[in-house]
A and B are shown apart, each in its own frame.
Chain A
Amino acid sequence: NAGVMQNPRHLVRRRGQEARLRCSPMKGHSHVYWYRQLPEEGLKFMVYLQKENIIDESGMPKERFSAEFPKEGPSILRIQQVVRGDSAAYFCASSAAGTQPQHFGDGTRLSIL
């Protein structure tokens, strides 16, 4: 599958635990974007990364959330000490350069108990 791969598809965590969401971009893409989508809401931009660099994290909460895109391996969105309000679908998208279009993965549905 040459598309954007996200895993896991579904993730359940208890309050206070950590959640790690993974995203492998499309082959040849070096730009990764993370979005959050609450039920019945639009996509909200969180963070934009290139290999080993965070380009724009203006949409990401300052506390508990972090993202990385290492030289090797997938991009990781990490949420520490999760709370109920973190329950959402988290989508990753990739593009070949700063040019678009972005191609989206199937998302990770995070549920906090």
Chain B
Amino acid sequence: GQNIDQPTEMTATEGAIVQINCTYQTSGFNGLFWYQQHAGEAPTFLSYNVLDGLEEKGRFSSFLSRSKGYSYLLLKELQMKDSASYLCAPEVGNTPLVFGKGTRLSVIA
């Protein structure tokens, strides 16, 4: 089985930077996905990390440390529209993704 741990809720200010952490314990790890889900909407793909290190994509960056079973999603220049749940999902072999419960981010003015 997999064990995925993310903070349940976070609050940050518009224009600031926020880091959402995810730790996981799994065997047969391939890579790690981050998805964004606005309330009442479908999850949308944000990033996929296979190698250790930071991958930057606009205002969003994702980091992976395979040896530590740790990833984070970094959101810069926060906007109100970034208020959403952020889901961490380790990929194990060709098995279906198992999602963490997600971190609900609230961006306040």
Contacts and interface: CB of A to CB of B under 8 A. Distances in A.
A107 interface: yes
Interface of B is mostly: loop
Contacts of A28: none
Interface stretch (B15-23, B51-59, B67-75, B95-103): B95-103
Interface stretch (A14-22, A41-49, A61-69, A72-80): A41-49
A42 B42 contact: no
A56 interface: yes
B92 to A, nearest CB: 11
A105 interface: yes
Contact of B48 (A35, A45, A59, A101): A101
B60 interface: no
Which label, helix, strand, loop or mixed, suits the secondary structure of the A interface?
Answer: loop
Given A100-B48, A101-B33, A43 B43 contact: yes
A45 B97 contact: yes
Interface residues of B, number: 18
A78 to B, nearest CB: 19
B97 A104 contact: no
B95 to A, nearest CB: 7
B45 interface: yes
A13 interface: no
A70 interface: no
A99 B94 CA distance: 7
Contacts of A41: 101
Nearest to B47: A101
Interface of B: 33, 41-45, 48, 87, 91, 94-102
26 contacts: A33-B97, A42-B87, A42-B99, A42-B102, A43-B43, A43-B87, A45-B96, A45-B97, A45-B98, A45-B99, A56-B95, A56-B96, A59-B96, A98-B94, A99-B94, A100-B97, A101-B33, A101-B48, A102-B45, A102-B97, A104-B43, A104-B44, A105-B42, A106-B41, A107-B41, A107-B42
Q: What are the 6 tightest A-B residue pairs by CB atom distance, in nearest-first order?
A: A98-B94, A42-B101, A104-B42, A43-B99, A101-B45, A48-B96
